[in-house]
Chains A and B, each alone.
Chain A
Amino acid sequence: MSATNQHNALPLLSCNNLSWSIDDKVILDNINVQVKKGQFIGVIGPNGAGKSSLLRCLYRFIKPSKGEVTYQHHDIWQLTAKEYAQQVAVVLQHTPQQFQLSVYDVVSQGLIPHQINFKQTFSELFAGISHKTQQQICTALAQVGLTHKSEMPFEQLSGGEKQRAMIAKAIVQKSEVLIMDEPTSHLDVKYQIQIMELAKSLGTTTVVSFHDLNLASALCDEIWVLKDGKLVSSGTPDLVITEPMLSEVFDVCTHVKPHPQHQRPQVTYFYGYSSQTNIIDSEQGVSDAK
């Protein structure tokens, strides 16, 4: 999909003046963003910036206290949870342990939003999962490379394989939009790249939160930068991943240069005590101000 196409496309999801607070503590402050069809969007920001909260608002887990989230111009809270689940699939950061389900069982949960009527459920009850549906699950498993492990207990998978199984579940859900909340935390470098490239290869409209700036820069069409619940910057990686921005948002000294392979910004961090002096100064400044 070309960049011009994306600009002309109508927004699928948009946040209009979105704010969310708990007991007077503002978590998200007046956020306006749009997700267009086919875009791969990265959400970055320091811990506690509100990345997960923003994504939770997008996947209809949190009801915003002000403003609205719309899906194709409908307020998502006017849709039922099931209708919305048919449009938006989610891959979460953590999966609980110990539940003795096979990989196939977990992946087949993606069918839930599409179990529309009792007739369908009953026919499945007595005749088993239909051939077409089975095919759908098998294709999803093949897409994430887990066909040979489909009957294995989910718990026995490695961290990367677990996330791949969760992505397969999202594929079975056949949604327009995929939202992923830090899917690569706890994973090693190989799996981080593998999972993100897999997500990108699906071609679905995707919103994903990252901690790895280089991965975000390499894969995303657009990046949203959050700090203290505010949208600090948004745009293409070239516009957003800059030394002043990283210093302002993450309080780190960096050097940004084009990546040798794809020419997008590549971040190099400076280490050592002296490189952190400006941080100590700025923190001092903050505490003085208090």
Chain B
Amino acid sequence: MRNNLVAGSILLILTLFSFLIALSSGAVHIPLSDVLNLLSASNSDVEQLTRNIIVELRFPRSLLAIFAGAGLALAGANLQMITRNPLADPYLFGISSGASFGVVLAMTIVGSTFAFILPLAAFAGCLVAVTLLLLIAGLNRSQQVESMLLAGVALSFLFSAFTSLMLYWSDPQAVTAILFWTLGSFARADWQNIWLPIVMVIVCLSCMLIYHRHLTALLLGDESAKTLGINVKKLRISMLVISSLLTASIVAICGGIGFVGLMIPHIVRFFIGQGKRANLIVTGLVGGIFMLWVDLLSRTLLDNQELPIGIITSAIGSVFFLALLYLRKSRY
């Protein structure tokens, strides 16, 4: 318990520290003192331009990065628990390909002139995918987990096929736009659209904290969980819905950011297990910090250009993950 508290406090401080760094670095470097000055007092003597960069651009963007990272990590941890499958990931269930399909469809129909419509289309695509998944998983009474996973993979391929078909028919400009969208970015963050992911992260985290013991009971098998009086089907479906909505709210704004949902829960579990409630908070914080630094890298690695988030998460993530697998092998 004490270890968890210490880890939690360190991570919280690390998050705040990373957040300040993220506010100060970028194409225009703003000294930390100015950032602190601006945050501590409303009427400070910081230039209007600097104020705009921080308040209108970097603050919402970094906030979104933290909550997107935390949200994807939590959704991943949740799905891995309810399916008892270490490979489960928010994108495995067709959610992301549903979103891509929505975006492609919207671009084909209305063109890329109405940029604001893309998040809506992505969210609608996610919802369609989740509804289909629930219908399929709900119909099959026995072996719910297996049918849910397989249905998710099948749906994912189905949507990808439609997306590819529409891309094949559309013009090269749309293809580039969609490719950029699927690789993920926090550039679309502003004060109007970041509230939904933040609310969803809080909702999802609260549900997971309240039902944490029920979720760990699922890990010991459905039959064992039922003997403890748990309504397994209801618990699984509601957790699936909550994590899907969370993922959808993130994907709609940030596009596809792979690997975080799969990797972060594994890293946290590797170091501190998954039996305690505090582990969920640690998972969220680690996800948030990771994403914040990835965003920082994407903004600063190349001059005057932003690297897509998805490329960095996948690159760093895979190397780190392989190292972890190697470590685990040598540990046992």
Please list the residues of chain A having a beta carbon within 8 angstroms of any beta carbon in chain B: 59-61, 80-86, 88-90, 92, 94-96, 98-102, 104-106, 108-113, 115, 118, 121-122, 125, 128, 153, 173
B231 to chain A: which residues have CB within 8 Å?
81
Cβ of A79 to closest chain B Cβ, rounded Å: 10
Q: How far is the CA of A84 from the CA of B214 in the complex (A)?
A: 16
Are B229 and A96 in contact, with the CB atoms below 8 A?
A: no
User: Size of chain B's interface in residues, with CB distance under 8 A?
Assistant: 26
Q: Does B277 contact A (CB under 8 A)?
A: yes
Question: In B6-25, which residues have CB < 8 Å from any A CB?
Answer: none
A98 to chain B: which residues have CB within 8 Å?
86
Instruction: Other than A59-B227, A90-B227, A113-B229, give 17 A-B pairs with Cβ distance below 8 A.
Output: A80-B229, A84-B229, A94-B221, A95-B221, A95-B224, A99-B84, A99-B220, A100-B269, A101-B216, A101-B273, A101-B275, A105-B273, A110-B228, A112-B228, A113-B228, A118-B210, A125-B210
Residue of A nearest to B278 (CB): A128
Cβ of B232 to closest chain A Cβ, rounded Å: 9
Given contacts A111-B213, A125-B209, contact A96 B227 (CB under 8 A): no
A60 to chain B: which residues have CB within 8 Å?
226-227
Q: Does B56 contact A (CB under 8 A)?
A: no
Given contacts A96-B219, A96-B221, contact A83 B229 (CB under 8 A): yes
Q: Identify the interface centre among A88, A112, A118: most chain B CB within 10 Å of its CB.
A: A112
Q: Does B146 contact A (CB under 8 A)?
A: no
Q: How far is the CA of A109 from the CA of B217 in the complex (A)?
A: 6
Are B213 and A61 in contact, with the CB atoms below 8 A?
A: no
Are B274 and A101 in contact, with the CB atoms below 8 A?
A: yes
Q: How far is the CA of A81 from the CA of B231 in the complex (A)?
A: 8
Q: Select A81's contact among B213, B226, B277, beta carbons within 8 Å.
A: B226
Are A100 and B275 in contact, with the CB atoms below 8 A?
A: yes
Cβ of B278 to closest chain A Cβ, rounded Å: 10
Cβ of A190 to closest chain B Cβ, rounded Å: 25
Are B219 and A61 in contact, with the CB atoms below 8 A?
A: no
Q: Select A109's contact among B86, B216, B223, B276, beta carbons within 8 Å.
A: B216
Q: Select A101's contact among B86, B209, B219, beta carbons within 8 Å.
A: B219
Q: Does B230 contact A (CB under 8 A)?
A: yes
Given contacts A99-B84, A101-B275, A128-B1, contact A85 B228 (CB under 8 A): yes
B1 to chain A: which residues have CB within 8 Å?
128
20 pairs from A and B in contact (CB 8 Å cutoff)? A60-B227, A61-B227, A82-B229, A83-B229, A85-B228, A85-B229, A92-B227, A96-B219, A100-B274, A101-B273, A102-B275, A105-B273, A106-B220, A109-B213, A109-B228, A115-B213, A118-B210, A122-B210, A125-B209, A125-B210
A95 to chain B: which residues have CB within 8 Å?
220-221, 224
Residue of B nearest to A113 (CB): B229
Residue of B nearest to A94 (CB): B221
Q: How far is the CA of A118 from the CA of B209 in the complex (A)?
A: 12
A122 to chain B: which residues have CB within 8 Å?
210
Are B84 and A61 in contact, with the CB atoms below 8 A?
A: no
Are B229 and A81 in contact, with the CB atoms below 8 A?
A: yes
A61 to chain B: which residues have CB within 8 Å?
223, 226-227
Q: How far is the CA of A95 from the CA of B84 in the complex (A)?
A: 13
Given contacts A61-B223, A101-B219, A113-B229, contact A96 B84 (CB under 8 A): yes
A84 to chain B: which residues have CB within 8 Å?
229
Q: How far is the CA of A61 from the CA of B221 in the complex (A)?
A: 13
Are B275 and A104 in contact, with the CB atoms below 8 A?
A: yes
Residue of B nearest to A59 (CB): B227
Q: How far is the CA of A100 from the CA of B279 in the complex (A)?
A: 12
Q: Select A85's contact among B210, B216, B227, B275, beta carbons within 8 Å.
A: B227
Residue of B nearest to A153 (CB): B273
Q: How far is the CA of A80 from the CA of B209 in the complex (A)?
A: 24
Given contacts A95-B224, A99-B84, A153-B273, contact A121 B210 (CB under 8 A): yes
